[in-house]
């Protein structure tokens, strides 16, 4: 995955990542998947929070672009390994 910020450096645009729609996650306010601004024309959504284990495997802490990209790649890899 590649997240291109370019002209949007001061905005959190959710490009190439699935945004989270959870209502009950206790850490959603610090998660990039929840707080980023959706892409205007194309955006995917999912509720990633697992209430059974009270955790989220796909949490991406709001941080710099490189770390966000690495976490997203790890989360996607984890997802496909567990199919």
At 17-45, the pLDDT tens digits run 899 999 999 999 999 899 888 888 888 99
**Cα–Cα distance measured from residue 50 to residue 54, given in angstroms and rounded to the nearest whole number:** 6
Q: Any idea where the domains of the chain sit in the sequence?
A: 6-81
Q: At 37, phi and psi to the nearest 5?
A: -80, 130
pTM above 0.95, yes or no: no
Residue 66's pLDDT is what? 61
Contact 71, 33 (CB under 8 A): no
């Amino acid at each position: 995955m590649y997240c291109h910020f370019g002209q949007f450096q001061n905005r959190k645009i959710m490009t190439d990542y699935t945004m989270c729609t959870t209502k009950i996650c206790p850490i959603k306010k610090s998660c990039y998947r929840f707080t980023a601004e959706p892409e205007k024309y194309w955006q995917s959504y999912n509720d990633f929070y697992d209430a059974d284990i009270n955790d989220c495997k796909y949490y991406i802490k709001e941080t710099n672009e490189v770390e966000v990209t690495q976490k997203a790649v790890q989360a996607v890899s984890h997802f496909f390994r567990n199919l």
